[in-house]
Amino acid sequence: MLKSKVDEVLQDVNKLPAISSVVSKVLEKLQKPDVNIADLAQEISKDPAITANVIKLSNSAYYRASKPIRTVQEALMTLGIKTVKEIVLLTAAKGILAQDLNSYQLEAAQLWTASLLVAELSSKIVQHKKLKIDKDLAFTSGLLCSVGKIVLAQFFSPVMMQLKADLKNNQEPFPTLEKKYFGYTHMEVSETLLKRWNFPVDLTDVVANYLTPENSKVNPLLTSVVHIASILIVVSGIGIDIGGESVPISPFALSQTGVTDADIETYFVHIPDLQAGLADLLNV
């Protein structure tokens, strides 16, 4: 069991994936009701890479701005605070998620594509089923679900032989094996990371429970949406990792969201079309 080693890493800020202090500050400001656009623009502009991406993506076909955008302030005024927040998070997430996780048998491009697709499908499900959830919140929650795998991936080598043997006869969801060998599931690690980054509680709740939505305490409906989206993306093979298709769709998630078998069929068939629509974001 590698739990003590994983604990060591989780307690050492220098060993964990980092998020720009600008992103943390932007999120912090956005949690206050009296957020000021000029103030926010100034904060974002402190990070040149994020600023460049905000302007580039604001002008992309995906966000369809009504006029050309040249500054962060213009982006905030034209697209709105929520959309710009989404772009800032997207840029930060790409920096963290776009890496090869060889031990999970997952390449960087696959992990990033899958993360974006879970985000986009979550947002589409919210709109399609007319759920009372902010679609941008659904997008962001879906985006960050796999982030804990980045930390666990580095601990695979010492247990790989045993884990593979276990995997052959495994009838349980893969996170059960993560827990057995590392002392943590990737969901628990994701939750720790998001808390460390000062993300709001509804986001940490989703990443902590997206494969077991019935355990969600804060927002079971949102967690259920992200659950369904994430399973469908895995089934399509995009971002499918060493765990394969070991987690079934939760009946709880289906009853919470009202998603029917026919809906699932439609969502599944349209995954390639969804991916085509994300071309701008895939190349952030």
Partner 1 sequence: MSIKSKIINVGIADIKVGKDTDVLRTTLGSCIGIVLYDPDQKIGAISHIMLAKDPTGKDMSKFPHKYGETALPILIDMMKKEGSNIGQFSCRIFGGASMFKGINSQFLQNIGEQNILIVRKFMEEKKIPIIVEDVAGNEGRTISLYCDDGRVLLKKAGMEKYLYKVR
Picking from 283, 259, 281, the residue whose alpha carbon sits closest to that of residue 122 is: 259
Name the minimum Å distance from CB 225 to partner 1. Answer: 17
* Residue placing its CB nearer to partner 1 in the complex, 74 or 166: 166
Compute the distance between CA of residue 58 and CA of residue 62 in angstroms, rounded to an integer. 8
Name the minimum Å distance from CB 110 to partner 1. Answer: 6
Show the DSSP H helices in 59-209 as ranges: 72-79, 81-97, 108-128, 135-143, 147-153, 160-168, 174-182, 186-196, 201-209
Q: Write the CB contacts of 280 (distance below 8 Å, at least 6 apart in sequence).
A: 57, 60, 61, 62
* Residue placing its CB nearer to partner 1 in the complex, 98 or 218: 98
* Residue placing its CB nearer to partner 1 in the complex, 147 or 247: 247
Residues that bind partner 1 (CB under 8 A): 105, 109-110, 160, 163-164, 167-168, 231, 234-238, 240-242, 244-246, 248-251, 254, 261-262, 264-265, 268-269, 271-273, 275
Name the minimum Å distance from CB 267 to partner 1. Answer: 11
Compute the distance between CA of residue 95 and CA of residue 19 in angstroms, rounded to an integer. 8
Q: What do you get for the CA distance between the two ends of the chain, in Å?
A: 38
* Residue placing its CB nearer to partner 1 in the complex, 80 or 268: 268
Give me the phi and psi of 106, to 5 degrees please: -135, 125
Q: Write the CB contacts of 138 (distance below 8 Å, at least 6 apart in sequence).
A: 119, 122, 123, 125, 126, 222, 225, 226
Name the minimum Å distance from CB 243 to partner 1. Answer: 8
* Residue placing its CB nearer to partner 1 in the complex, 14 or 169: 169
Name the minimum Å distance from CB 240 to partner 1. Answer: 3
Name the minimum Å distance from CB 198 to partner 1. Answer: 34
* Residue placing its CB nearer to partner 1 in the complex, 7 or 265: 265
